[in-house]
Structure 1
Amino acid sequence: MDRDDTLQTKDQRLVVLVTGPSGAGRSTAINVLEDLDYEVIDNIPLSIIPKLLDASSSGRPLVLGLDVRNRDFSVSGLIELVDSIGSNEQFEATVLYLDCTDEVLSRRYSETRRRHPLAPAETAQAGIAREQDLLVPIRARADILIDTSVMSPHELRDEIERWFSIGKHAPMAVSVHSFSYKRGMPRGLDMVFDVRFLKNPYWEVSLRDLNGQDEAVQSHVMTDERYDAFFNKVLELTLLLLPAYLEEGKRHLSIAFGCTGGQHRSVALVENLSKALAKHDWQVSIRHRELERRQIGVPQNVSRTKA
């Protein structure tokens, strides 16, 4: 069975929207996806994409390259596009965001002597800062975030292939999110667990300024008498569903834990579940929405394959 035949058995056509700051590796990722037999369209005006999807009859997965160079690019327009594709039962939308630190982006522009698209008459640093600020809402909506700061083009190719190889034995992309209920639930989630019933480290003064990535916070959460039973059932359920969804043709599963502030309990659960899934050889991407909002401009390397 070839790739196209495998894809034809799916109810939805995969649409991958590739974006991120200029110089972070978007073009490399798009080239890799084209080599993987995806249909690729780069720098198409956002306003044309809905018509393109309506007219397209190909069963191959589709890649759309989107960045600030698109003729009618806007943050609100891109978010509306993601929502529109996601609400269409014919498509499965995945946002791939290629990220990179300002320092590395600046060095890459210096080495290539290219002008930044948002600062043609200014320094590259000015354009980088402007673009990073502009893309904050889109970065928060990413399904898969890859930090390329310390990656060579070859390493980025390997990472893209791990996430997006198509065919019978293609891996499933699993993302695990933490969030604050005060800010509402992230969009596009498949499974959501409210962990506000667990002991809250916020009320421990020594833990208040830490987060769920710290061992002290994780240990505190795990002392709750309900933690073990809850966590084991969530892990058991997830391990049961993942092979079933993969067999059904689903390519991406989003799991989320929410708590009051999105800093302690939900983050601890994400860290622990991700490690457990990685031990079972599932490729996992971690997203801590509230922590990322606090630390924006300091990208995390969120991709994991094994603990």
Structure 2
Amino acid sequence: MLQQAELLIITGMSGAGRSTVANVLEDEGWFVIDNLPPQLLDGIADLLLDEVNRWSDRPEDASARTSSAAAPIRAAAVVDVRTKGFFGNLTHSLDALATRGLRPSLVFLDATDETLVRRFESVRRPHPLQGEGRLLDGIQTERRLLTDIRSRADLVIDTSGLNVHQLSRKVLPAFSRDRRPGTRLAVMSFGFKYGIPLDADFVFDLRFLPNPFWIPELRASSGKDEAVADFVLSQEGAVEFVEQVVVLLRTVMSGYRRENRRYATVAVGCTGGKHRSVAIAERLGSMLSSSDIQTFVVHRDLGQE
């Protein structure tokens, strides 16, 4: 199942971008089911297994299946609070699939309360759990109820500050047709003054390095420019930091593969997310990329200044 078919569950906060992610996956060839009751996940798994068996039982399709090995049968289900009995049933369904030896990937979409309030107000729609209370009451109720599900997620995506196109670009590297097997690691730069990313599995602070912002000829450039990158990496402790983080993350990624965890995000931050964090993120992404780790670099706050 894990080698020939993939089952992905998309869930998370209402208004955090589930529909956008579902559309991206559909465009990438995934079979996507929206608003699926968790009780039906077992049936979706049966359909995937039947399809895998159908291929394996038809010798005349062997060559076609071999050529499709890099693109397994893929299905994604959007499961959320619109479904009655969502909270208890999703946990139960995940546990039931695990007893069958199947482990779907769970993707959790999140955003800050402020962002969610703004999005709901812009479309003039109530929150599914709002009832007779305030919009913020519904959001906070949902967040409390989703705490356990979020902790089980393989991949948490923070959509705060992202528009539809930026979210699409962030999702594509993890789920596109041409991705390599192995753990997919997002290396994200950010600025502390804009907040720590909600979806980071690891956070590193680069404010111990001198800030190129105070160098007049470097201020307007970013960490993607060679002059800035050379300046950052020439500072005392910079190269040692990168080397030690690489060793640490390779060790952790090996453990993730043993536990069948396929997604992770490491965030490196500086003050504004323009110079130091960008340069170090680029270097980490390059050094960590291997046959077992597919890295992609995201600069969350570049351009915000």
Match for residue 26 of structure 2? 27
CA drift at 1:281: 5.5
1:31-57 per-position Cα deviation (integer Å, ceiling 9, x unaligned): 257865666434866464435414523
Out of 158, 181, 190, the residue aligned to residue 177 of structure 2 is 158
CA drift at 1:259: 0.9
- The answer on 1:237 being equivalent to 2:274 is no
- The answer on 1:207 being equivalent to 2:218 is yes
Out of 263, 277, 287, the residue aligned to residue 288 of structure 2 is 277
CA drift at 1:95: 5.2
CA shift in 2, pair 1:84/1:52, >3 Å: same
Out of 97, 109, 116, the residue aligned to residue 58 of structure 1 is 97
CA contact (8 A) 1:41 1:64 kept: no
Which letter does structure 1 place at the counterpart of 2:90?
Answer: L
User: What CA RMSD, in Å, does the superposition of the two structures yield over aligned residues?
Assistant: 4.7
**Alpha-carbon distance in 2 for matches of 1:183, 1:135:** 10
**Alpha-carbon distance in 1 for matches of 2:294, 2:141:** 29
Match for residue 170 of structure 2? 145
CA shift in 2, pair 1:235/1:177, >3 Å: same
SS state at 2:220 partner: coil
**Alpha-carbon distance in 2 for matches of 1:3, 1:185:** 33
**Alpha-carbon distance in 2 for matches of 1:221, 1:188:** 26
Out of 236, 240, 262, the residue aligned to residue 251 of structure 1 is 262
In the superposition, the TM-score normalised over structure 2's length comes to 0.59
**Alpha-carbon distance in 1 for matches of 2:257, 2:269:** 25
CA drift at 1:182: 1.6
**Contiguous gaps of at least 5 residues in structure 1:** 8-12, 98-133, 149-155, 164-169, 295-307
CA shift in 2, pair 1:46/1:30, >3 Å: farther
CA drift at 1:248: 2.3
Matches within 5 A, 1:57-206: 57-59=96-98, 60-61=103-104, 85=146, 87-88=148-149, 91-94=152-155, 136-137=161-162, 145-146=170-171, 158-159=177-178, 162=179, 170-206=181-217
1:130-149 per-position Cα deviation (integer Å, ceiling 9, x unaligned): xxxx985576996981459x
Which letter does structure 2 place at the counterpart of 1:184?
Answer: G
Matches within 5 A, 1:279-298: 282-291=293-302, 293=304
**Contiguous gaps of at least 5 residues in structure 2:** 12-16, 33-43, 49-71, 110-119, 130-134
1:94-136 per-position Cα deviation (integer Å, ceiling 9, x unaligned): 3579xxxxxxxxxxxxxxxxxxxxxxxxxxxxxxxxxxxx985
Which letter does structure 2 place at the counterpart of 1:94?
Answer: L
Please say which structure displays the higher CA radius of gyration.
2
Match for residue 52 of structure 2? none
CA contact (8 A) 2:222 2:274 kept: yes
In the superposition, the TM-score normalised over structure 1's length comes to 0.58
CA shift in 2, pair 1:247/1:201, >3 Å: same
Which letter does structure 2 place at the counterpart of 1:209?
Answer: A
Give the share of equivalent positions with the same residue, in percent: 25
